[in-house]
Amino acid sequence: MGKSKVSNTIRRLRFDHDEMTQAQLAEKVGVTRQTIVAIEKANYAPSLELAFLIARAFNQPLAEVFSYDDD
Amino acid sequence: MSHQEKRIIVSLITSILVFIFYGMFMREMYLDGYLSTQKADSIVGKSIFALILLSIVVSVVAQIVVSIILTMVTGERTNFFSDERDKLIELKGMQITLIAFSIGYLGSMALLATGTAAYLVFILIIFSMFIGSTLGDIGRLYFYRRGF
């Protein structure tokens, strides 16, 4: 499995936001639920625009949602 | 399974069926001796036009029929929306298709250069298109299954 070096805290943030579903987040940022699943599992690194949209959906700065793992 | 994956499976099945039909048609032509006449190139040319038309019509009809059936069975409307990941997967599939087709095309040209009959080379080019499209579909399915 090709894991991306971009990890994220989307799962925790969804939980903190009244257990927002993947489908709700997908609708909010304008992608399919499968894309949210792939991002959450770090199988897919989103574009910068989508990353900003996801961070905005949680009212968080980008660095709180995404981080780059160097190892 | 996502709508995109279902669409790829439908495309894969229809292209295999159309190619089997084309292969059977060309086999009949060969057995009846049409491909050993002077009209062989013209027959193959016409058959390629028919194949392209047939594959477009069959593909569109199959996608519509499957969408209707799935809507009736699951109650969900088919979503034709595609996001950035879908577009990237589409591009990767296209890349696989083009690489496979290019290899087949170059091989066909090499055969032409060594004196193989032109009608056979045209059929090989069509076969390369089929293999390229099939590998592209399989690649897309693989990327969807893997996540990306």
pLDDT digits (tens, 9 = 90+) for A9-62: 999 999 999 999 999 999 999 999 999 999 999 999 999 999 999 999 999 999
* A1 pLDDT more than 60: no
**Residue scoring higher pLDDT (B73 or B113):** B113
Q: Is B148 helix (H, G, I), strand (E, B) or coil?
A: coil
Between CA B50 and CA B36 the distance in angstroms is 20
Position A2 pLDDT exceeds 70: no
Distance, first Cα to last Cα, chain A: 16
Give every CB contact of residue B106 below 8 A, 6+ residues apart in sequence.
Answer: none
Our CA-based measurement puts residue A69 at a distance from the nearest CA of chain B, in whole angstroms, of 18
Could A32 and B81 be called an inter-chain contact, meaning their C-beta atoms sit closer than 8 Å? yes
With an 8 Å Cβ cutoff, are B85 and A43 in contact?
no
pTM of the model: 0.87
* Residues 6+ positions from A15 with CB-CB distance below 8 Å: none
Percent of chain B with pLDDT over 90: 74
Chain B residues whose beta carbon lies within 8 Å of the beta carbon of residue A4: 148
Residues ≥6 apart with Cβ < 8 Å to B118: B40, B41, B112
Residues ≥6 apart with Cβ < 8 Å to B40: B34, B117, B118, B119
Q: Give the pLDDT confidence score for residue A11 in this predicted structure.
A: 96
Q: Which of A44, A49, A52 to mutate to test the interface with B (most CBs of B within 10 A)?
A: A44
Percent of chain B at pLDDT above 70?
Answer: 100
pLDDT at B66 over 60: yes
Contact B146 A37 (CB under 8 A): no
pLDDT in tens, A24-37: 999 999 999 999 99
When pLDDT is cut at 50, 70 and 90, the band that residue B115 belongs to is: very high
Contacts of B146 in chain A (CB under 8 A): 1-2, 43
